[in-house]
Amino acid sequence: MQLFRFANPDFLYLLLLLPVLILLYIINEIRKKKALQRLGEFNLVGSLVPEMSTIRSLIKFILQLAAFTAAIIMLARPQFGSKLEDVKKHGVEVIIALDVSNSMLAEDIQPDRLTRAKQAISRLVDNLDNDKIGLIVFAGDAYTQIPVTTDYVSAKMFLSTIRPDMVPKQGTAIGAAINLGIRSFSPGEGKSKAMIIITDGENHEDNPVSRAEEAAKAGIIIHTIGIGSTDGVPIPLTLNGRKEYLKDVDGNTVISKLDEDILKKIALSTNGNYVRASNSNIGLDEIFSEIRNMKKQELESTMYTEYNDQFGIFAVISLCLLLADFIIMERKNRRLTNIRLFKFKL
């Protein structure tokens, strides 16, 4: 199975202009129709100007829109992986355990705790080179979202899909995340293994400190990042299009507070560091600078090392569409008025 990717995916944001262009076209057509109506009855004016063609204008716009879309895809450089190789690098293995419980939707860290954490992880992945990274998501239970890998493109792709409802059981089981992390590292003695836990620290399910001690025995260093306010804030939810706040069974608004004590104990038990996140700095860069000082190990992974560009196909499509747009005139040609293309008169 070949891996598909875009070499310059940022250009795909230009596709957001498509609805704007469609809206501008509709507004322009409405204005043109109103201008003709001011000259007289629409059908009568149309008979006086037989060369006028509404359908030609629509066809030309569709061709221009399709050419614009193909050009954007061309700029994004679609590629297919063409060669798989076993690659050996020297680095460390890092697993990030990200809390996706409802409390991570609190907005004391803007725009909210979870979104801000995902943004920081994405930037971290952009700066990785030889290290392996894995991602665990947890709430009332823990799940592997990304096994340890050097495929950073796929890691970012899966990262973007993370949301609270992907874990069916709510809660905050930090111990379950640590336990899964212990099992997720590559087997072998003497390997450099680090785990980063990003959470608000409100543990409700298990004893994470005892699990952290087990991780320490396995040679795993755990760093913790506390994200949120120690004073506590409500948890926003969107219900029927309205913003409300999470309530308990008694109807009281649930207040989410950062529990720093438990996170400090987890980090201390494995000789790791605890960092308090803020709006300006989540703390991942600070922790990863510590991880980079760990002893590097030889890491083996299978990955695509060559990619075939496919942008030429979209360049040809775009040029053909522009050529067709150039050939089709805005107004009817009296000599060609009886020629039928698309099963109607042009």
- Within a domain: residue 264? yes
pTM: 0.63
Task: Compute and round to an integer the Cα radius of gyration of the chain.
Answer: 28
What are 49-79's pLDDT values in tens digits?
555 566 878 888 999 999 999 999 999 988 8
Query: What HEC string does the chain produce?
Result: CCCEEECCHHHHHHHHHHHHHHHHHHHHHHHHHHHHHHHCCHHHHHHHCCCCCHHHHHHHHHHHHHHHHHHHHHHHCEEEEEEEEEEEEEECEEEEEEECCHHHHCCCCCCCHHHHHHHHHHHHHHCCCCCEEEEEEECCCEEEEEEEECCHHHHHHHHCCCCHHHCCCCCCCHHHHHHHHHHHCCCCCCCCEEEEEEECCCCCCCCHHHHHHHHHHCCEEEEEEECCCCCCEECEEEECCEEEECECCCCCECEECCCHHHHHHHHHHCCCCEEECCCCCCCHHHHHHHHCCCCCEEEEEEEEEEEEECHHHHHHHHHHHHHHHHHCCCCCCHHHCCCEECCEEC
Does some domain include residue 102? yes
Judge if 189 and 235 occupy the same domain: yes
Residue 244 lies in a domain: yes
What is the biggest distance separating any 2 CA atoms in the chain, rounded to whole angstroms? 90
Query: Hey, what are 114's tokens?
Result: 């979870």
Q: Report the amino acid identity of residue 98.
A: L
Spatial CA neighbour of 177 closest among 133, 144, 146: 144
Place of tokens 């087997």: 187
> Is there a domain that residue 47 lies in?
yes
**Residue 318 and residue 285 in one domain:** no
What residues in the chain have per-residue pLDDT under 70?
1-3, 36-54, 81-90, 188-191, 203-205, 295-307, 330-346
Residues 241, 324 within the same domain? no
Answer yes or no: do 56 and 103 share one domain: no
pLDDT in tens, 221-231: 999 999 988 88
Specify whether 66 is located in the same domain as 99.
no
Backbone phi, then psi, for 27, in 5-degree steps?
-60, -40
Structural domain that includes position 180: 93-295
How far is residue 78's CA from residue 51's CA, in Å, rounded to a whole number?
42
Contact 206, 173 (CB under 8 A): yes
115 lies in the same domain as 9: no
The residue to which tokens 């308090």 are assigned: 276
198 and 322, same domain (yes or no): no
What pLDDT was estimated at residue 81? Answer: 62
pLDDT at 311: 86
In this structure, are 263 and 130 located in the same domain?
yes
172 plus 290 within the same structural domain: yes
Residue whose C-alpha is closest to residue 128's, from 171, 85, 93, 103: 93
pLDDT at 67: 94
Residue 30 lies in a domain: yes
Q: What is the CATH number for 186?
A: 3.40.50.410
Query: From CA 141, how far away is CA 164, in angstroms rounded?
Result: 12
Shared-domain flag, residues 50 and 101: no
Q: Which of 1, 44, 56, 19 has its CA nearest to residue 344?
A: 56
Work out the end-to-end distance of the chain between its first and last CA atoms, rounded to an integer number of angstroms.
Answer: 46
pLDDT of residue 69: 95
Residues 226 and 319 in one domain: no
Number of domains in the chain: 2
Flag whether 167 is in a domain.
Answer: yes
Q: Do 244 and 197 sit in the same domain of this protein?
A: yes
What pLDDT is attached to residue 79? 83
Whether residue 86 is contained in a domain is answered as no
What is the C-alpha to C-alpha distance for residues 222 and 270, in angstroms, rounded to an integer?
A: 6
- Residue 87 placed within a domain: no
Pairing of strands 132-138, 93-99: parallel
